[in-house]
């Protein structure tokens, strides 16, 4: 029986935009990236309950992107693999913050989110013109779990959302019921069958080791950091070889601390470490989950451990990167951050072979953070220091930004750039942002160039891609000079 929720990819994108824009007006557009990622994850979990997977499902995934964000490019074979690995529903990290904000302000953005998500999921369930009982159960589960968080946080009641069960059109078995993943130890595919094409095969593809090493080597500066990362990789490789040859393998912690100022590439290196460890078999997936205090600590008794456990679950098989980790120990004895620390320490012990935790932040506060708990010092026994970029390195980062975005400098600007970034480095203070300051400078120059070109009657293509010396400084400073 056809369903009223079926949409073409174009119509689905319009529906997605209409729902998310209404949500962003209430909660802020800063959530767009997280929202797109979360809805994609939900779609994969939902499609696991669909009767079959078709090109329509891949096209539906490609329609899930907010205004100003790039369109995805899912293919059916990749979708099939991802659906097999999709797992169970977890509330998104930003939803916890939404409920806390709603409870404090007396608003109901989090309940608006639930109604919006239900609408989107119903449209996704109907891409094949069929809504199964399993799909409706999943949509109901999502709404119920999110509603329970709203209720526990004390968010005011809102109007009820749609009941997914009212829109079921068939009771066909789900895709995973028809194609169950092979259990551990079960015999592999029949002889002659392509292992990668086996039904339900869920082994993630290993990252390309050479490509990741090339990306690491291509980072500006950070020579000591690169050397430390490669040494750790060598240690892990040799450890695995000893294990394979039946030799004793001493215990080793893969957890580490990144020390240094903002904008020095800590998050980028953490992402590469996850991929590199996955490429050599030390981690199963190698994904990077990045959080700060707000992503771990809740505002109510008993919720912090649950919230932190949800984050840890999403990071298993990869890297959990905790930015400004010292903020977890910044409160008093009753601060909920200490509950997050204890939960993380337990996970580091329980999942020592499937989780790498990287704690990052300013050098001084991080050293005090590690000394605040004996368990932290013993588990984070590897420290990597990220030095500030010097003037030449800042200039190199700026040129990479220009190349990536299709800009170039005229001769006068080229000569001035070295002087400008040397002065930026020499004049740095405690608020120096390193690469972030370079990105801000680049974005400011794009605006200044636009203002300059707007006064020209017919800018040429060369004008559109070229920065001049005047674009380096705001107008009042140019006049003073």
Residue 150 and residue 112 in contact, taking contact as beta carbons nearer than 8 Å: no
Per-residue pLDDT tens digits for 367-396: 888 887 778 888 888 899 999 999 999 999
What would the pLDDT profile of 203-247 be if each residue is shown by its tens digit?
556 678 888 888 898 899 899 999 999 998 888 888 888 888 888
The edge-to-edge listing of strands for the beta sheet with 256-260 is 288-291, 318-323, 355-361, 256-260, 383-386
Residue 225 burial class via C-beta count within 10 angstroms: exposed 0-12, middle 13-18, buried 19 and up: buried
- Mean pLDDT over all residues of the chain? 84
Which residues sit opposite 358 in a β-bridge? 256, 321
Work out the pLDDT band at 331, boundaries 50, 70, 90: low
Residue with tokens 């912090």: 304
Query: Would you say residue 424 has pLDDT above 50?
Result: yes
The answer to whether the CB of 272 falls within 8 A of the CB of 228 is no
Structural domains of the chain ordered from first start? 9-175 (no CATH), 209-386 (3.40.50.300), 391-480 (1.10.8.60)
Q: At what angle do helices 32-47 and 76-84 cross, to 10 degrees?
A: 80
The full DSSP string for 292-338 is -GGGT--SSTTHHHHHHHHHHHHHTTEEEEEETGGGGGSS-TT-THH
Distance separating alpha carbons of residues 378 and 345, to the nearest angstrom: 10
Compute CA 189 distance to the chain's CA centroid, rounded to the nearest angstrom: 34
pLDDT, one tens digit per residue, over 19-68 is 888 888 877 888 888 889 999 999 999 998 887 888 889 899 999 999 88
Average pLDDT over residues 350-363: 89
Whether this model's pTM surpasses 0.85: no
CB-based contact 366:257 (threshold 8 Å): yes
**What CA–CA distance (Å, rounded) separates 36 from 54?**
21
Q: Helix or strand or coil: residue 55? A: helix
How far apart, in Å, are the Cα atoms of 433 and each of 178, 289, 395? Answer: 53, 22, 14
Q: Is the pLDDT of residue 200 over 50?
A: no
């Amino acid at each position: 029986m056809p369903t009223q929720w079926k949409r073409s990819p174009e119509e689905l994108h319009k529906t997605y935009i209409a729902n998310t824009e209404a949500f962003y007006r209430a909660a802020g557009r800063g959530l767009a990236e997280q929202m797109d990622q979360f809805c994609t994850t939900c779609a994969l979990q939902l499609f696991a309950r669909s009767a079959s997977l078709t090109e329509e499902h891949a096209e539906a995934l490609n329609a899930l992107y907010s205004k100003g964000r790039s369109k995805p490019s899912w293919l059916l074979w990749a979708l099939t693999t991802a659906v097999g690995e999709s797992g169970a529903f977890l509330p998104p990290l930003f939803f916890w913050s939404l409920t806390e904000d709603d409870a404090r302000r007396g608003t109901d953005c989090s309940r608006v989110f639930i109604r919006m998500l239900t609408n989107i999921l119903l449209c996704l369930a109907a891409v094949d013109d069929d809504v199964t009982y399993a799909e409706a159960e999943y949509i109901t589960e999502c709404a119920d779990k999110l509603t329970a968080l709203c209720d526990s946080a004390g968010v005011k009641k809102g109007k009820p959302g749609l009941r997914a069960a009212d829109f079921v059109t068939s009771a066909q078995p789900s895709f995973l019921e028809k194609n169950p993943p092979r259990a551990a130890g079960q015999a592999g595919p029949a002889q002659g069958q392509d292992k990668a094409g086996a039904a339900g095969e869920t082994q993630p593809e290993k990252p390309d080791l050479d490509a990741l090493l090339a990306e690491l080597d291509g980072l500006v500066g950070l020579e000591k950091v690169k050397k430390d990362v490669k040494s750790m990789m060598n240690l892990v490789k040799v450890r695995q070889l000893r294990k394979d040859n039946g030799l004793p393998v001493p215990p080793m912690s893969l957890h580490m601390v990144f020390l240094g100022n903002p904008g020095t590439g800590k998050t980028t290196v953490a992402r590469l470490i996850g991929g590199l460890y996955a490429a050599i078999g030390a981690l199963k997936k190698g994904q990077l989950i990045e959080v700060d205090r707000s992503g771990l600590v809740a505002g109510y008794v008993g919720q912090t451990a649950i919230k932190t456990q949800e984050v840890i679950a999403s990071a298993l098989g990869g890297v959990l990167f905790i930015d400004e980790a010292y903020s977890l120990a910044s409160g008093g004895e009753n601060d909920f951050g200490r509950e997050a620390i204890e939960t993380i320490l337990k996970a580091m012990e329980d999942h020592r072979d499937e989780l790498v935790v990287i704690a990052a932040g300013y050098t001084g506060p991080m050293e005090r953070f590690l000394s605040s708990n004996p368990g932290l010092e013993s588990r984070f026994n590897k420290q990597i220091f990220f030095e500030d970029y010097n003037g030449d390195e800042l200039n190199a980062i700026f040129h990479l930004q220009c190349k990536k975005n299709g800009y170039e400098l005229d001769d006068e600007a080229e000569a001035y750039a070295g002087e400008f970034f040397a002065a930026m480095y020499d004049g740095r203070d405690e608020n120096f942002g390193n690469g972030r300051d370079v990105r801000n400078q680049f974005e400011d120059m794009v605006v200044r160039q636009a203002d300059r070109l707007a006064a020209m009657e017919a800018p040429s293509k060369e004008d559109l891609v070229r920065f001049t010396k005047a674009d380096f400084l705001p107008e009042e400073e140019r006049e003073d000079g």
